[in-house]
Amino acid sequence: MTKHRVVVVGGGFGGLQFAKDMKHPDATITIVDRRNHHLFQPLLYQVATTVLATSEIAWPIRSLFRGRPDISTILGEVIDVDLEKNLVLLKDGNTLPFDTLILATGARHAYFGRDDWEPHAPGLKALEDATTIRRRLLLAFERAEVEKDPETRQALLTFSIIGAGPTGVELAGIIAQLAHKTLVKEFRNIDTRTARILLIEAGSRVLPVFPTQLSEYAAKALTRMGVEVRTGDPVTACDERGVTIAENFVPSRTVIWAAGVQASKAAAWLNAPSDRAGRVQVQSDLTVLGKPNIFVIGDTASVTIEEGKTVPGIAPAAKQQGKYVAKVVMARLAGRSSPGPFRYRHLGNLATIGPSAAVIHFGRLQMKGWLAWWIWGLAHIYFLIGTRSRVAVALSWLWVFLSGHHSARLITQKETLKDEV
Amino acid sequence: MTKHRVVVVGGGFGGLQFAKDMKHPDATITIVDRRNHHLFQPLLYQVATTVLATSEIAWPIRSLFRGRPDISTILGEVIDVDLEKNLVLLKDGNTLPFDTLILATGARHAYFGRDDWEPHAPGLKALEDATTIRRRLLLAFERAEVEKDPETRQALLTFSIIGAGPTGVELAGIIAQLAHKTLVKEFRNIDTRTARILLIEAGSRVLPVFPTQLSEYAAKALTRMGVEVRTGDPVTACDERGVTIAENFVPSRTVIWAAGVQASKAAAWLNAPSDRAGRVQVQSDLTVLGKPNIFVIGDTASVTIEEGKTVPGIAPAAKQQGKYVAKVVMARLAGRSSPGPFRYRHLGNLATIGPSAAVIHFGRLQMKGWLAWWIWGLAHIYFLIGTRSRVAVALSWLWVFLSGHHSARLITQKETLKDEV
């Protein structure tokens, strides 16, 4: 008997959880990803801001499944799905036949129709984004050190973060710390404490998914750390010189985008209805309408909780969906009845602001300050994959905590080789 | 009174040692480097081969001198020296006036007039070289996994290292370990143990700077680990398909260059006589003939020990020269007599081959095997800068030792942003 072929596209939180849970003697699983590594995105901003090294938060997908001979891993870029022949099409011309398909292709940052802003305001989704932002941050200080014109110097020392969700808040806090503490003694011609860090939010408050009083606490904590919080006005323009907030132009040579995401192209591959963020509208069992053997999970899926409310694009949600789909597929293979519709269990929201400052919202529990910060840290270490990374990240944080120095402050430059793939 | 301006070009072992030792109330020091970090080159091959992370062996130069207000650090590329006006010229148009100049600009790999080989056979000198080689190594296995043509698959699984000095030997050993041990359980379509690792040396034996019996031991240890050692024939051609050894073409998609280096352009800037490797021929006090205020040290300097023998291009030699020049400059500023000519003290040679196999040659002491390996490891940890890196590298090695897994197996891809600097 030929085995049931399951193809998983995407090695993020959802795809990985599915593969871990999905075990059946009559099934083979193939995981395809454009990158060779799973990335722990919740800590990516710490790579961008020189606290952690890339290898502390990313692991080769195939090494995670070395003990599972039923799982193959393929490095490849999916460009389409053939719905008639049940084939996944790869960019290199290869095809992967499937009996069951799991699309867990995630999201990228989106510029709401202003894609021309991307070169000036990079977002933060992949490891390369993080090293790009790290390079820009560090180069801005280096250039300011040798710049003679005071206006240009101030523009170099002005950092703008667009969007005040958890990522924006975390970036602003840590850049403020870098400029106002870590780097102070290392420059001779500039005072890095004169650096301006702007956190720009079109909505009325920072951390809009949190209760109002936690937003207020976060805004105050950021202000105390030296961040200028600008809420209520959108960015209307963005180029290599700076950003325009409503009608005011602010010269700023480093701009980071933390304002919005767009789901991957899975909806187009499936020719399926999608929501405004490009997410595929799925059935209550996470399958695509009319395609009971195709599941969409994680940031690529739009899953309704109640009227007008969808499952948020966070790691725990993707993992729950991966777990659920594994149950559904295994039930089908065993000829058992389906486990019923997917139910999202919201565990809560966490965001860190700076040293000893974080906010937590778990159901009726609201918490802020140093205890919240420790819970945030322990939760993130716990969810890292593997003892090695847990020890390495704990050590990096302990080092920053004790010495105040960041250990990953490297500007790595562009490729010089031309034939790179 | 204006201060005595010392400019140091290059933040390698020599430049850094000079700046550490050079302390005088009437002197200011400016360190210029193209990169923002000092790199511990002796362990760079371990970044290339997925054992260590980049930030474990590199540190921002300015952070090393945060406690020295007399030292400024500038990120900049030197393009020439104006010998009449005593100015260092930078690519960005800035100039740096000096009273004393220390050129410690190091070396790059050289292709002996075959620069067209570089895209096919990258060398290993900078962090970017290491991540390039790491990406190519890992991509070769990934491509072999999906390749259907057996000949192409074998070419993808053939790794050639050109040059069997310490770097070549270390690379060959660790790639053999990666293919024959670490990766074995992670691939489903290929057996990584069928990978061929060729170590090609035009000379008659591996590790030519070591005594003959240590070379023989190294060659045997390599063979036992699965490396094909090919001595006595040069590489005569190299392209994207493979290498030609003497007249035999070997299909090999991954080729690494470890065969030779060329000093930086300092000799041209100074219009000074240089040797075959481009190194500036310096006086016995490491100054340039006719320019008593310009010193050249490290891999850029050709320092004669005795007839036909020069100081080797290794870290301890560069450090000794930095130390010596600091003494000379301080003596001059204090109006004391010069400490006499530079004397090189050869401490010995170390090279590691693989787990529990290394060779040591210290004067009359020759050592090989596991004890040599431990001494090699401890010596390298000891010379790393900072407690943080020592702990991180020790932890990474301990992890590999206990688990056999490498933790930095990341393929990071090319920039997608176009405006990168």
| Residue A356 is assigned to a structural domain of this protein | no
Shared-domain flag, residues B129 and B146: yes
Strand bridging mode A304-306 / A309-310: antiparallel
| Residue B80 is assigned to a structural domain of this protein | yes
Of B37, B53, B392, the CB nearest to A54: B53
Shared-domain flag, residues B154 and B250: yes
User: Measured between alpha carbons, how far is residue A239 from residues A124, A153, A249, A253 in Å?
Assistant: 18, 17, 10, 9
CATH number, domain of B215, equals: 3.50.50.100
Domain boundary among B279, B302, B334: B334
Cβ contact, residue pair B412, A122, below 8 Å? no
Shared-domain flag, residues A150 and A247: yes
Q: Catalytic site residue A56?
A: no
Closest C-alpha among B161, B136, B177, B134 to residue B44: B134
Shared-domain flag, residues A189 and A159: yes
Q: B55, A410 in Cβ contact below 8 A?
A: yes
Q: Contacts of residue B418 in chain A, CB cutoff 8 Å? A: 119
- Domain housing A196: 115-259
Q: From the CA of A219, how many Å to the nearest CA of chain B?
A: 31
Cβ contact, residue pair B58, A417, below 8 Å? no
Cα gap B43→A343, rounded to integer Å = 51
Catalytic residue selected from A77, A142, A170, A415: A170
Cα gap A135→A140, rounded to integer Å = 8
Shared-domain flag, residues B187 and B302: no
Q: Contacts of residue A132 in chain B, CB cutoff 8 Å? A: 415, 417, 420
Cα angle, residue A350 at apex, residues A212 and A35 outer, rounded to 5°: 130
Strand bridging mode B235-239 / B242-245: antiparallel
Query: What ranges make up the beta strands (E) of A86-210?
Result: 87-90, 95-97, 100-103, 107-109, 158-162, 196-201
Q: Which helix (H) or strand (E) holds A13?
A: helix A13-21
Query: What ranges make up the beta strands (E) of B40-188?
Result: 58-60, 71-75, 78-82, 87-90, 95-97, 100-103, 107-109, 158-162
Question: From the CB of residue A239, how many other CB atoms can be counted at a distance below 10 Å?
Answer: 14
Shared-domain flag, residues A180 and A225: yes
| Residue A330 is assigned to a structural domain of this protein | yes
Amino acid found at A411: I
- Split into its structural domains, chain B has a count of 2
The string of DSSP letters for A112-137 reads TT-GGGTTTS---SSHHHHHHHHHHH
Cβ contact, residue pair B128, A60, below 8 Å? no
Cα gap B332→B209, rounded to integer Å = 37
Return averaged pLDDT per consecutive 10 residues of chain B, 421 residues in all: 93 97 97 94 90 87 94 96 97 96 94 90 91 92 95 98 95 93 93 97 96 96 96 95 96 95 92 92 96 97 89 94 98 94 93 89 91 89 80 78 71 42 26
Cα gap B76→A359, rounded to integer Å = 42
Of A132, A138, A186, the CB nearest to B66: A186
Q: B148, B190 in Cβ contact below 8 A?
A: no
Catalytic residue selected from B145, B170, B240, B306: B170
Shared-domain flag, residues B145 and B292: no
CA A77 to chain CA centroid, nearest Å: 19
pLDDT of residue B408: 67
Cα gap A80→A219, rounded to integer Å = 44
Cβ contact, residue pair A119, B417, below 8 Å? yes
| Residue B354 is assigned to a structural domain of this protein | yes
Shared-domain flag, residues B253 and B267: no
CATH number, domain of B87, equals: 3.50.50.60
Cβ contact, residue pair A410, B55, below 8 Å? yes
Cβ contact, residue pair A186, B419, below 8 Å? no
Of A58, A74, A76, the CB nearest to B410: A58
pLDDT of residue A185: 92
Q: Contacts of residue B403 in chain A, CB cutoff 8 Å? A: 388
Q: B198, B159 in Cβ contact below 8 A?
A: yes
| Residue B415 is assigned to a structural domain of this protein | no
Shared-domain flag, residues A192 and A297: no
Cβ contact, residue pair B62, A187, below 8 Å? yes
Cα gap B177→B169, rounded to integer Å = 12
Domain boundary among A334, A351, A366: A334
Q: A277, A109 in Cβ contact below 8 A?
A: no
pLDDT of residue A7: 98
pLDDT in tens, chain A (421 residues): 689 999 999 999 999 999 999 999 999 999 999 999 999 999 999 989 888 888 889 999 999 999 999 999 999 999 999 999 999 999 999 999 999 999 999 998 889 889 999 999 999 998 889 988 999 999 999 999 999 999 999 999 999 999 999 999 999 999 999 999 889 999 999 999 999 999 999 999 999 999 999 999 999 999 999 999 999 999 999 999 999 999 999 999 999 999 988 999 999 999 999 998 899 999 999 999 999 999 999 999 999 988 888 999 999 999 999 999 999 999 999 999 989 999 999 988 999 998 789 999 998 899 999 999 989 888 888 888 777 778 778 777 877 777 767 766 777 654 333 222 2
Q: Contacts of residue A392 in chain B, CB cutoff 8 Å? A: 392, 395, 407
Shared-domain flag, residues A293 and A323: yes
Of B35, B54, B395, the CB nearest to A53: B54
Cα gap A161→A45, rounded to integer Å = 12
Domain boundary among B307, B334, B361: B334
Cα gap B124→B132, rounded to integer Å = 9
Shared-domain flag, residues A223 and A129: yes
| Residue B416 is assigned to a structural domain of this protein | no
| Residue B39 is assigned to a structural domain of this protein | no
Q: From the CA of A134, how many Å to the nearest CA of chain B?
A: 12
The burial class, CB within 10 Å (0-12 / 13-18 / 19+), for B312 is middle
Q: B128, A131 in Cβ contact below 8 A?
A: no
CA A118 to chain CA centroid, nearest Å: 16
Shared-domain flag, residues A134 and A250: yes
| Residue A71 is assigned to a structural domain of this protein | no
Q: Which helix (H) or strand (E) holds B330?
A: helix B315-334
